[in-house]
Amino acid sequence: MEQTVEKEKRVRVGITHGDVNGIGYEIIIKTLQDQRLMELYTIVVYGSSKVASYHRKMLNIIDFNFNLVKKADQAHPRRPNIVNIHDEEIKIDLGKSTSIAGELSFLSLEAATEDLLKNNIDVVVTAPINKKNIQSPGFTFPGHTEYLARKFSTDNYLMLMINSVLRIGVVTGHIPLCKVKETLMEEMILGKIQVLNHSLMRDFGIVKPRIAILALNPHAGDDGLLGTEEKTIIQPAIDKAYSQNILAYGPYPADGFFGAASFKSFDGILAMYHDQGMVPFKLMSFDEGVNFTAGLPYVRTSPAHGTAYDLAGKNEASPEAFRNALYLAGDIFMHRQEYDELHANQLRPAGNQPDNNRS
């Protein structure tokens, strides 16, 4: 009975191993060496015990081992577990992009996603992939975010980057810069504002979040001189959001907004395109930032950096961003449970309220 209660309190974390030629296993192992994590989470890595052993030896880590299990529901609650998604020998080419690395990245992601859908795990933390070598008939997406949105049948979602001082999302995400202008639409921007607002409340516990919306053009268009998108697309979306009791403000010129540290006055920020949000974010937190996909029915986080081929096998990669991603996934999962329970109680008819005085 005690073991059952203990398992119910733990967040079951699935981890994808990412590109086996990058730093994925290094940051995973370095993170899971901290035994305190096992007090909070049941850990399941979707990968290869042979590849894990190879990386562990390369890193000269002798006091760590995975517990090999066939399925996630067999995971030991107090040990880091690994499910083999590939049993054969694998050629590791550290620091190189290879087709087998892409294939294994996809197999790991697919296995973790299926276990999310089956409720065998609660959240997933994804190690970095190479967005090119993972391309296949089963993966035709620019990144994790789009794959998971399709897998979970979610149309309105948001790539949200998080550190200790910023939560910043991007409207257009992984598309070429030349297509940003033609892609931006009023309803699209409004939808992203709505996703961000709901996520800040449900996933982060902020009751009345304040959201800053960045402009597309320099100087916010300079009253139409440098572009009209602020007047014709962005401002109308902000006005509609505000009419829905969402505290959305802007549009703010991006350079002045970050230069004057105005971001400190807001709970969330919405940028119009990828680099507009990513450049200031990664300047502030390249080694510690987290990528979270807001708007999905399941929690997914990832370190906000790539495969770092140049560091692979050198024992120089910092696990801080991955560790933060793991902690954030657990925190968001718990916030969601509290938020959903609170709102379920608010919607329940008065006569059906639980009796908290019952002994």
Percentage of the chain with pLDDT > 70? 94
Give me the CATH number covering residue 169: 3.40.718.10
Q: Give the tens place of pLDDT for each residue, 252-263.
A: 999 999 999 999
**What is the model's pLDDT at position 203?**
97
Q: Give the tens place of pLDDT for each residue, 53-93.
A: 999 999 999 889 999 999 999 999 999 999 999 988 889 99
Mean pLDDT value of segment 179-189: 94
pTM score, whole prediction = 0.90
Residue 129 counted as domain residue:
yes
- Does the pLDDT at position 292 exceed 80? yes
Residue 348 counted as domain residue:
no
Going by their DSSP bridges, the two strands 299-303 and 123-126 should be labelled as parallel
* 350 confidence band (pLDDT: 50, 70, 90): low
**What is the model's pLDDT at position 347?**
62
Residue 67 counted as domain residue:
yes
For residue 19, give its domain range.
Answer: 1-153+296-319
Mean pLDDT value of segment 165-191: 93
Residue 326 counted as domain residue:
no
315 and 191 fall within a common domain: no
Mean pLDDT value of segment 347-356: 53
Q: Give the tens place of pLDDT for each residue, 90-145.
A: 899 999 999 999 999 999 999 999 999 999 999 999 999 999 999 999 999 988 98
- Which of 23-27, 305-309, 310-314, 354-358 bottoms out in mean pLDDT, i.e. has the lowest? 354-358
**What is the model's pLDDT at position 186?**
96
- Does the pLDDT at position 31 exceed 50? yes
- Count of the separate structural domains present in the chain: 2
**What is the model's pLDDT at position 15?**
98
- Does the pLDDT at position 188 exceed 60? yes
Among the listed residues 83, 67, 70, the one whose alpha carbon sits nearest the alpha carbon of residue 15 = 83
**What is the model's pLDDT at position 42?**
97
Q: Which residues contact 82 (CB under 8 A, 6 or more apart)?
A: 44, 45, 46, 47, 48, 49, 52, 66, 67, 68, 69
Q: Give the tens place of pLDDT for each residue, 237-276.
A: 999 999 999 999 999 999 999 999 999 999 999 999 999 9
Residue 329 counted as domain residue:
no
Q: Which residues contact 121 (CB under 8 A, 6 or more apart)?
A: 12, 13, 14, 44, 72, 112, 115
Average pLDDT, the chain: 92
Residue 327 counted as domain residue:
no
Residue 341 counted as domain residue:
no
65 and 139 fall within a common domain: yes
- Does the pLDDT at position 18 exceed 50? yes
DSSP secondary structure of 142-206:
SSHHHHHHHHTT-SS-EEEEE-SS-EEEESS-SS-GGGHHHH--HHHHHHHHHHHHHHHHHTT--
| Distance between CA atoms of residues 49 and 46, nearest Å | 9
**What is the model's pLDDT at position 9?**
73
Residue 347 counted as domain residue:
no
**What is the model's pLDDT at position 129?**
96
| Torsion from C-alpha of 27, 32, 37, 40, nearest 10 degrees | 90
